[in-house]
Amino acid sequence: MSFTHTFDPTSLREYDIRGIVGKTLNAEDAFAIGRTFGSMVRRNGGKTVVVGYDGRLSSPTLEQALVEGLSACGLEVTRVGRGPTPMLYYASATLKADGAIMVTGSHNPPDYNGFKMMMAGKPFYGAQIRALGEHAQKGDVVPAEKGSVRNIDLRDEYVRRLVTDYDGGDRKLKIVWDNGNSSAGEILEKLVAVLPGEHIVLNATIDGTFPAHHPDPTVAKNLEQLISAVRDNKADLGIAFDGDADRIGLVDDKGEILWGDQTLIMLARDVLKTHPGATIIADVKASQVLFDEVARAGGKPLMWRTGHSLIKSKMAETGSPLAGEMSGHIFFADKWYGFDDALYAGVRALGIIARMGKPLSAFREALPGTISTPEVRFDCDDHRKFKVIEDVAERLRKAGADVSEIDGVRVNTPDGWWLLRASNTQAVLVARAEGRDAAGLERLKDAIVSQLEQSGLERPDFSGNNAGH
């Protein structure tokens, strides 16, 4: 029987495949992903693929169809079951799989779902995802051949490996965890049972409707429950996950949020003790404070493009032991496997905090102060967004501005810096600015507005509250 399939064009993203279940994504798409990705694995000389799925209501159905598509390529398919995305990455690394696919909607609303993929131990993204779509449309797949399917339970092994790198000594911390009804629920339950200290777990049950709050720890509103619990219980810190637990959020003992770049500073100082001079990577949205603090700690700060696949690839290229994004993706290659894992980052953070000898708030308060906008996202047509960035970059170059074009434009001025970039996953432009004081921040925002107006765009809404940082 011949095979062809056309995906909804909005579902093939830069870093993954993602859509609204029943509208732009369904079981037929899942089968087609398996059939096409599986063919690409076979043609790459591979024969084994591991598959996992998150806690969303649609995930079991999509996973079943995906496995059928992979199996039809004659592959050996290993199902690791329901769990966090990093457990699937762990399976891929330890089983040395030729391919890996996680069925997950990550931090998106409950009616979304998607697929994160790896091939030969590396992220599968960008041109590879576009090629997958083209192969499916043409029916360019290997001849149908029945493969094998097995189920394995890696949960206990994964938890044992997570705990191996806890290095907090004898100090017992009190920790509040907000699982956010994420797919890490069962793993987290096993993890807190073996970690030292006192553990309070919120929203432990895996629930794809996310009844407590939206599972995105970079949004302050989603951390309100955790902040209250940390203060009420006089805890040493709080840890939150996103929907598939590859992103982490931290709250200190005073109930104040540590943003992704602040968390990375804490982790980087520790890693650089055993890797002096190492390259530490962060995305273009990170504070200048991060890059300065990494250099001060003896590391080589490297600013790179936003996107977990891009960061992972850059880590492998540079031999970096640690990287992170403002979005809460933290990547350890020091003692770990180079992928983003919020559970592992949590274990490492606990070890550092236990050894600190002072509260986490003292670390945060000692960082140089800045004032910044939140990440401001505003609509811009998919076909136009990159052209806007090109035009802005050209004007800035002509004006002799101090500008980095690694990912959009990041402009340094005496007041601080501002960023304008095109999202790789949505029809939006993203702006951010960080100033040394309130007056400077206003001037930075005016600079962004001026550039947008010159490109015929309206002033974005910066009213999402300036954040002290």
Catalytic residue numbers, as ranges: 106
3-state secondary structure of 349: helix
Alpha helices in 275-358 (DSSP H): 288-296, 308-318, 342-356
CA separation for the pair 313, 439 (Å, rounded): 38
CB 72, CB 34: distance < 8 Å: yes
Contacts of residue 243, Cβ cutoff 8 Å, sequence gap at least 6: 54, 55, 56, 104, 105, 106, 107, 108, 180, 182, 183, 210, 215, 216
Extract the tokens encoding 126: 């960008």
CB 302, CB 280: distance < 8 Å: yes
Determine the residue type at 23.
K
Contacts of residue 236, Cβ cutoff 8 Å, sequence gap at least 6: 173, 174, 175, 253, 353, 359, 360
CB 253, CB 194: distance < 8 Å: no
Extract the tokens encoding 286: 């990170």
C-alpha distances in angstroms, 436 versus 211, 257, 265, 369, 448? 39, 20, 19, 8, 17
Extract the tokens encoding 439: 């007056």
Residue 61, CB half-sphere, CA atoms under 13 Å: how many? 11
CB 397, CB 409: distance < 8 Å: no
